[in-house]
């Protein structure tokens, strides 16, 4: 049986003190994370995304919640239940050139 080669203490210290993401992933056995390509501030279209997360203010209970809007469909209207009070909300989305321009939540009663 072959003896295990020991890693010198200074090599381990260097690897642990490094802030490189690849070293941290290796030390903790993590899978690599792939970030989307695109310039910051260019919106989701520049990164090739067809959905966008938005904050919606419920017209019934006046609580905010996060929702996902599909930009590939263009401007549209659809019904979604409030995640807080479960009331139906009609969301009108205005999309121009793949970017969300406006989102208008309205009561259904």
Q: How high is the pLDDT of residue 36?
A: 58
Q: How high is the pLDDT of residue 31?
A: 79
Domain carrying residue 100:
43-107
Per-residue pLDDT of the chain (109 residues; tens, 9 = 90+): 566 666 677 776 766 666 677 777 777 788 776 665 555 445 444 455 688 899 999 999 999 999 999 888 889 999 999 999 999 999 999 999 888 999 999 999 8
Whole-number Cα distances in Å, 64 to 54, 83, 101: 10, 9, 19
- Check whether residue 52 and residue 70 sit in a common domain: yes
- Check whether residue 52 and residue 17 sit in a common domain: no
Q: How high is the pLDDT of residue 29?
A: 80
Cβ-proximal residues to 39 (8 Å cutoff; 6+ apart), any chain: 46
As for how many domains the chain has, the answer is 2
Q: If residue 51 lies in a helix (H) or strand (E), which one and from where to where?
A: strand 51-57
Tokens of 81: 């239940």
- Check whether residue 30 and residue 51 sit in a common domain: no
């Amino acid at each position: 049986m072959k003896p295990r080669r020991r890693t010198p203490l200074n090599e381990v210290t260097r690897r642990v003190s490094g802030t490189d993401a690849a070293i941290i992933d290796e030390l903790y056995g993590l899978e690599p994370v792939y970030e989307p390509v695109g310039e910051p501030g260019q919106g989701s279209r520049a990164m090739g995304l067809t959905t966008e997360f938005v904050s919606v203010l419920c017209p019934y209970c006046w609580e905010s919640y996060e929702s996902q809007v599909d930009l590939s469909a263009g401007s549209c209207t659809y019904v979604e239940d409030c995640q807080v009070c479960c009331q139906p909300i009609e969301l009108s989305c205005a999309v121009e050139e793949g970017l969300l321009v406006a989102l208008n939540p309205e009561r259904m009663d």
